[in-house]
Amino acid sequence: MTSVERSSRPIALLILLFLFGISATIADAREITDMAGRKVTLPDSIKKVYAPSAYGAYVMYSIDPALLAGLIFPVREEDKKYLRKDAQNLPVIGSLFGQRQTGNIELLLKTKPDLIIMWAAKKSALDEKAEATLKKFNLPYVYAVAESMDDYPDVFLFLGRLLGREERAERLASYYRKTLSEARAVMGRIRPDRRPKVYYAEEADGLSTECDDSIHVELLKLAGDANVHRCQASSHMGMEKLSLEQVKLYNPDVIVAQEKAFFDKAFKGPAWRTIKAVKEGQVYLIPRAPFNWFDRPPSFMRIIGLQWLMRCLYPDEYRIDIVKEAREFYKLFLQVDVRDEEMRNVLYF
């Protein structure tokens, strides 16, 4: 063998290995169409994913928390009992994009996710700035799209197919479809004049709320279009400011409260006592462990929140053992067993 032949062997070997790597990558890759209609090439095996928004992160947790590369928010100590142990100590990467950006891109890259799950409220509402960042760091991504709660079954099924969790995704999607159908059937039997007027009280003073067209009160739309505050939302963030005098003019039959500070104050001070909902004891504190059932964020948890709200508003028509139903929901979606007493604490019973 000549010296030229000997020196060319390592180069030939490197070329061979390079070509083998390319062919192996191509063989292991697959092309899918995401929910925004984008053609995306992905690895055949996806072992770790990250969803940089609460919407996607919570849905991913419900499908399989073992796939999560990290968390959006730190887990509160009081919520740990409602989450699987293998998810409690994941790194907190945070939200990478949007108005409440808290994410750590260096930590994200260190966790080496195979895929990023982006979220969009509409196919036309894609995040070009976020996409530019993901492309810069060569992170593959797909979009899940949900304009309303009716779209969540499709989100579950899309992610189930994508991640090889088809059977579980079908169970979650079926629960969603069944619950929405049952709620609508009940509402179809209740005349509009028998539907209570509801005020959604946000923040500690109870004087922030949402317009009736806001995503933040979709549950009120499903439960009889019950929101007393009729207007066009000024922004996606919501939190429309009201005066106490305006709330008194609305004189709602029911108040659903986001903050315990307001819930306690509504009954103790004289300011709210003249309002019908307070006088008749129809003020309900929204459950929020480990994720909010109603809003902030308006996540997949709203499907148990819808059942809770229907029971609050229509106890005679929507007959349900909410403690039992919530326990079954937590076992299916969050994969934890919660005792009756603990669930009553979640419900503030």
pLDDT digits (tens, 9 = 90+) for 145-160: 999 999 999 999 999 9
**Predicted local distance difference test score (pLDDT) of residue 103:** 76
User: What is the assigned CATH class of domain 30-166?
Assistant: alpha beta
Q: What is the mean pLDDT of residues 222-243?
A: 92
**Predicted local distance difference test score (pLDDT) of residue 198:** 98
DSSP 287: P
Q: What is the pLDDT of residues 119-138, one digit of tens each?
A: 999 887 788 888 888 888 89
**Predicted local distance difference test score (pLDDT) of residue 104:** 87
Checking if the pLDDT of 345 tops 70, the result is yes
Q: Read off the pTM.
A: 0.90
**Predicted local distance difference test score (pLDDT) of residue 125:** 76
Measure the CA–CA gap between 260 and 286, rounded to whole angstroms: 9
CB 242 within 8 A of CB 185: no
Share of the chain above pLDDT 70, in %: 91
Q: In which band, very low, low, confident or very high, does the pLDDT at 307 lie, cut at 50, 70 and 90?
A: very high
Share of the chain above pLDDT 90, in %: 78
The count of C-alpha atoms lying within 13 angstroms of the C-alpha of 206, restricted to the half-sphere facing its C-beta, is: 25
Long-range contacts of 94-98 (CB under 8 A, 24+ apart): 94/52, 95/52, 95/53, 95/54, 96/52, 96/130, 96/133, 97/52, 97/53, 97/127, 97/129, 97/130, 97/133, 98/53, 98/127
Q: What is the mean pLDDT of residues 205-209?
A: 97
β-sheet bridge partners, residue 208 = 202, 241
Q: What is the pLDDT of residues 242-260, one digit of tens each?
A: 999 999 999 999 999 999 9
**Predicted local distance difference test score (pLDDT) of residue 1:** 53
Checking if the pLDDT of 12 tops 80, the result is no
Q: In the chain, which segments carry CATH 3.40.50.1980?
A: 30-166, 188-346
Checking if the pLDDT of 285 tops 90, the result is yes
**Predicted local distance difference test score (pLDDT) of residue 144:** 97
Look at strands 39-43 and 29-33 and give their pairing. antiparallel
Checking if the pLDDT of 315 tops 60, the result is yes
**Predicted local distance difference test score (pLDDT) of residue 28:** 65
Superfamily of domain 188-346: Nitrogenase molybdenum iron protein domain (3.40.50.1980)
